[in-house]
Amino acid sequence: MPRSRSVNDCLEYQRKVIEADHLESLRTLPVQIRMGEIQIVHGGWADPIDEYLEPSARYFERVIGKGFVYGHTHVQSVQRFGGKVHCNPGSVGQPRDGDPRAAFAVYEAGEFTLHRVEYNMRKVCDLMQAAGFSDYYYGGLKTGARNLRRLED
C-alpha cells in the first residue's frame, strides 16, 4: 500500500538510526497478538498493518472473538457492539483527537479504562527539530490533531 511522503520520510529516518539488534528483535514480533480473549493489531483485521478501522457492529460480526485492541487512527475510544468490546488506546506521541496529552488504555478485570498523561512535549519537538524534521512532522503534538497542512512532494 502506498504511504504518504511524511510516513516514508519518518521510515527512512528510522532505518538510518535503528540499531541492527533492535531491528532483528522487531522482526520477530507477530503482526497480530492474542492474549486470552483479546486480539491486538495495529490497523484492523482485514489489514493488520495499514487499515484505518471505523468500528461498527457489521465489521466486528465477521471477526471471531470478544475483545479487540487496535490503533493506527490514534483516536482513543472504547466501544461495545453486542457482546464484543473494542478499544483504541490512542497514541502516546501523535494523538489525533484534539487532546495533546499521551493516551493509553489499561485492561483489567475484563474492562478497558482510558487514560491521559502530560509529558514534555517541548523536548520531543526540540529533538525532532534537531533530527532534521520540520514543524510539519511534530506540529500536531501541540494540539493533539493531525497536521493538515499539505507537505509538498
The residues spanned by each domain of the chain are: 5-142
CATH 3.60.21.10 fits 5-142, yes or no: yes
Confidence check: pLDDT of 88 > 80: yes
82-104 per-residue burial string, b: 16 or more CB within 10 A, e: under 16: eebbbbbbbbeebbbbeebebbe
> What pTM does this model have?
0.84
Grid coordinates belonging to 115: 487514560
Decide which of 6 and 59 is more confident: 59
Per residue in 98-128, pLDDT (tens digit) is 899 999 999 999 899 999 999 999 999 999 9
Percentage of the residues of the chain whose pLDDT score is greater than 90: 61
Grid coordinates belonging to 15: 532505518
